[in-house]
Structure 1
Amino acid sequence: MKAEFENIPLKKNETLKRFEIEVNGHFAFINYKENGTQISLIHTEAEPELSGTGAAAAVVEKTLYYIEESGKKLLPFCPYVFAFIKKNPEWKRIVDEKFNGYENI
């Protein structure tokens, strides 16, 4: 994660069902669904003003830390999150082994 994002807090916006960070009034976020012991990450997006800044990667990394700290398992349905974990395989530790595609990470 780029240094400029390290001190930006992750917010779990339960109303909009997304994890988000706010950078200069603009948002990078991941839509999620939560059930019991699992959190599904569905879609990652950064507002156009944040394009190319690394904000999307930052919100993904912060969300993965949140999931790990919560003791839940991840279902990475979002292609961006899936690719992030494939690129950073240490995060496979929080992916639910029952996830269809687990062996491809």
Structure 2
Amino acid sequence: MATVKLELNEKNHGGFNLYENDLKIGEMVISISNNELTVYHTEVDEAYAGQRLAKVLLDEMVSYVRANALKVIPLCPYVFAQFKRHPDEFTDIWKKN
């Protein structure tokens, strides 16, 4: 079972990292500033394709954002596509410019 860990540096840059038995198999690169979380990139190792693991990362990020009253700036093409496809699910957290 894959697990997600939020790992940030002192400047609040880092990501939600996906691990399988201590091996990093995916990541969602983010930064947090003020009350905004910017998502830059989401990637899962090709060996794990088709397991909906990008969605696991998305769900973890969304839970974190809601728990911390943040807004999301979805620069990542995957996250932006999900927000656009399912706007009702994300309207409360999507910071549109």
Query: Which of 27, 44, 47 in structure 2 is aligned with 1:46?
Result: 44
User: Residues 40 and 75 of structure 2 are in contact (CA less than 8 Å); yes or no, is this contact kept in structure 1?
Assistant: yes
TM-score (norm 2): 0.82
- Write out per-residue CA displacement over residues 32-84 of structure 1, whole angstroms, 9 at most, x where no aligned residue: 11111101000000011111111011111111111111111111111100111
Aligned counterparts of 1:18 and 1:38: Cα–Cα separation in 2: 14
User: Residues 83 and 94 of structure 2 are in contact (CA less than 8 Å); yes or no, is this contact kept in structure 1?
Assistant: no
Unmatched tracts of structure 2, length 5 or more: none
* Moved beyond 6 Å, runs of 4+: none
Describe the shift of the 1:26–1:50 C-alpha distance in structure 2 as closer, same or farther (beyond 3 A): farther
Normalized per residue, the structure richer in helix is 1
Query: Residues 21-60 of structure 1 correspond to what in structure 2 (within 5 A)?
Result: 21-24=18-21, 25-60=23-58
The residue that corresponds to 1:11 in the other structure is 5
RMSD: 1.8
Percent identity over the alignment?
24
**How many residues are matched?**
92
Aligned counterparts of 1:92 and 1:27: Cα–Cα separation in 2: 29
3-state DSSP of counterpart to 2:51: coil
Normalized per residue, the structure richer in strand is 2
- Measure how far apart 1:88 and its partner are: 2.4
Unmatched tracts of structure 1, length 5 or more: 101-105
TM-score (norm 1): 0.76
